[in-house]
Amino acid sequence: MSDATPAAPERNDFIRQIVREDLASGKHGAIQTRFPPEPNGYLHIGHAKAICLDFGIAQEFGGRCNLRFDDTNPAREDPEYVRAIQDDVRWLGFEWSELRHASDYFEVYYLACEKLIAQGDAFVCDLSAEDVRAYRGSLTEAGRESPWRNRSVEENLDLFRRMRAGEFPDGARTLRAKIDMASGNINLRDPALYRIKHTPHQNTGNAWCIYPMYDMAHALGDAIEGITHSLCTLEFEDHRPLYDWCVDKVDLAGHPELMAPLVARGFPNTAAKPRQIEFSRLNLNYLVMSKRKLLAMVNDGLVDGWDDPRMPTLQGIRRRGATPAALRLFTDRIGISKQNSLIDYSVLEGCIREDLDAHAPRRLAVIDPLRLVLTNLPDDHAETLDFPNHPKDASMGQRSVPFSRLLWIEREDFAEVPPKGFKRLVPGGEVRLRGVGIIRCEEVIREGERIVELRATLDPDTRPGGSAVDRKVKGTIHWVCARRAIAAEIRLYDRLFTVPDPDVDADGKTYRDFINPDSRRVVQGYVEPAAAEVEPETRFQFERSGYFAADRYDHAPARPVFNRVVTLRDTWSA
């Protein structure tokens, strides 16, 4: 199935307007963006918005977009996350211009900090982390200067070089910017630039025992790569003054000697001054998107891993069966703005349905099977019927569906005591079998209290080509041929949480108390042969049941496994 979507109209959010104006004014000859994830966990649905924006801007304006891993904290990073992130970006339909790492630039960051020390803009501080917090002050109280803030340039350079040489234990010293301890922006109260961490790095091994802090590494990484528009979510708005301080004080573009270690390794010197622009992050109800909480759910066995189809991770969403086209449609639909808002989960589900309704072939499947015998057909009756693969798209062709006197139907399509408005099968009642004809229920067979079989007769005149083919009955039900059906494991997934805001800890409860016990049910069903004989990640509409996908890892034609991607219609709005 193609993941292509029709050409969209020109997008015109405030960021694209800035880019158009910058190009028109000649400020930039070409656009350079980057997607800068930290490899300390799996990407989630919120990152899809950033990916589509960063790569989308570059594509739309003929520019370039790097994938840069901001890998500055080796204690929390793992090559597993690196591989998954690359897989996610490609799955969404994007390819990076260059693959970069903040760790590629460690030597440049180090030289930049020596320059800051020499300028009197940074100092080595001996305060503990606890003391730093105490000295920082509050939103209403100015901070206090570190007792070591006025060390000489020579002493600071000596201590910083000894930090790099590994002379001091973790936490003994930090390199801090010298900005303003009375600033109303707490981010400017002499923030840390480097800390000691004797931890091997997943990309550089044991080459370093000091590591740059994220704010500095992110800013200088953008400057190194010549990023024209550094797109960040709104929580970084208060960090922008520090971002600009780092870029301006180091001035990589004006000091090519700082770039020499990279140039010697074959990197181009593209240093320039980037501009940070903030936009609202994606907030969805019925989800938890804190990496810390997602990791806890994985480690505590509350889910079956990062790619559990109930997880909001891109790996989980993909495994459940959503298409990249649906996620791109979703990010287009919610748009880009500076206003934080909460998006209802039904918007995402609606985009998935819209995409699958247009592109997913139809198949017959029974999830909760009840045996049906057509008693007026011979025991050896066997035929094949032609069914369209898609009722609205003849180009998808047709398939042959086996039919016999022994069928499976959905148990919920029969009721001995029907509720008001029930239009399916009842004792003595008639219903149309999809694509076959009208049947009448003649007998109900039980084992104890449980109904195990229905016996019915098929009106041959209502079959295609018969004299009464147009005879009307109120209901139509689907079926599969019991003699040719393939047994399938069907995993019925639903929302992971029962409340719209599980992330708010109140009344002694946490998100763990709101996990939906019905978020996954595994049942044994039956599918027509054409549904089983497919590759993993093939998506279908199981008629009258929902949209399903062959599991990415567990499905095989001999042992099919299908995940419910989404129901046919919104069942949560009520």
Model confidence over 492-518: pLDDT tens digits?
A: 999 999 999 998 877 889 999 999 999
CB under 8 Å, gap of 24 or more: what pairs does 505-508 form? none
**Does residue 370 carry a pLDDT above 60?**
yes
pLDDT at 210: 98
Could you tell me the strand order of the sheet in which 539-542 lies? 362-363, 539-542, 546-550, 561-566, 486-493, 520-527, 365-366
Judge contact between 209 and 198, C-beta under 8 A. yes
Beta bridge partners of 313: 44
291 is in an annotated binding site: yes
**Among candidate residues 164, 58, 59, 80, the one with its CA nearest the CA of residue 114:** 164
Measured from the Cβ of residue 115, the count of other Cβ atoms closer than 10 Å reads 18
Model confidence over 196-242: pLDDT tens digits?
A: 999 999 999 999 999 999 999 999 999 999 999 999 999 999 999 99
**Among candidate residues 31, 28, 85, 33, the one with its CA nearest the CA of residue 54:** 33
Task: Name the H helices within 394-436.
Answer: none
Model confidence over 378-415: pLDDT tens digits?
A: 999 999 999 999 999 999 999 999 999 999 999 999 99
47 is in an annotated binding site: yes
Q: For residue 84, which amino acid is it?
A: A
Q: Which residues contact 421 (CB under 8 A, 6 or more apart)?
A: none
- Report the percentage of the chain scoring pLDDT > 90: 95
Task: Name the H helices within 300-367.
Answer: 314-320, 324-334, 345-359
**Among candidate residues 568, 61, 48, 571, the one with its CA nearest the CA of residue 330:** 48
pLDDT at 574: 60
Model confidence over 95-120: pLDDT tens digits?
A: 999 999 999 999 999 999 999 999 99
419 is in an annotated binding site: no
d(CA 186, CA 143): 9
Helices 240-250 and 214-224, axial angle in degrees (round to 10): 60
In the chain, what are the domain boundaries? 364-481
d(CA 346, CA 495): 11
40 is in an annotated binding site: yes
Q: What's the CATH superfamily of 364-481?
A: Ribosomal Protein L25; Chain P (2.40.240.10)
**Does residue 562 carry a pLDDT above 60?**
yes
Model confidence over 131-148: pLDDT tens digits?
A: 999 999 999 999 999 999
SS3 431: strand
pTM of the model: 0.93
Helices (H) and strands (E) in the chain, counts: 14, 27
48 is in an annotated binding site: yes
Active-site positions read 38, 281, 291
CA dist list (Å): 367 to 65, 276, 454, 480, 540 = 45, 51, 17, 10, 14
**Among candidate residues 95, 98, 122, the one with its CA nearest the CA of residue 110:** 122
Judge contact between 546 and 565, C-beta under 8 A. yes
d(CA 360, CA 354): 10
pLDDT class of 571 with cuts at 50, 70, 90: confident
d(CA 196, CA 205): 15
198 is in an annotated binding site: no
Judge contact between 490 and 365, C-beta under 8 A. yes
CA dist list (Å): 290 to 85, 143, 228, 545 = 17, 30, 29, 33
354 is in an annotated binding site: no
Judge contact between 35 and 55, C-beta under 8 A. yes
Model confidence over 72-103: pLDDT tens digits?
A: 999 999 999 999 999 999 999 999 999 999 99
The arithmetic mean of pLDDT across residues 470-474, rounded, is 94
pLDDT class of 572 with cuts at 50, 70, 90: confident
Model confidence over 522-553: pLDDT tens digits?
A: 999 999 999 999 999 999 999 999 999 999 99
